[in-house]
Copies of this chain bind each other. A is one copy, B any other.
Amino acid sequence: MKTPATFYHAGCPVCVEAERQIADALDPTRYDVELVHLGEHGDRIAAAEAAGVKSVPAIVINGAPFHINFGAPISALKS
C-alpha cells in the first residue's frame, strides 16, 4: 500500500516551485500524492492545521508536516 502524502499550497510562486520540485519528485511507486489548494478548498484548512501545518507550501507525509520554504501563513488563507 502506498503512503499518502498531502501537499498543501495556495498557488503562490513559492508553492508552485515546491510542487514542481518536491511534490512531483516523490517516488510514485511508494507515495500517493494529493495536491490541495487551500485557497480554493477552505474546508481542508482545519485538517491541515490539525496535522500541524502553519504555512504553505507544506507536505504532510505519514501525518508529519514538512514546511517547504515559506509562501504564506495559513491564517492568510482564512476568509
A residues apposed to B, CB below 8 Å: 3, 5, 17-18, 21-22, 25-31, 59, 61-62, 64-69
Contact = CB atoms under 8 A, between A and B. Distances in A.
Copies in the complex: 2
B62 A21 contact: yes
A4 B3 CA distance: 24
Given A22-B22, A25-B27, A28-B27, A66 B64 contact: no
- Which 10 pairs between the two chains have the least Cβ-Cβ distance? A27-B27, A21-B61, A25-B26, A66-B68, A67-B69, A66-B69, A68-B68, A22-B66, A25-B31, A25-B27
Nearest to A26: B25
Contacts of A27: 25-29
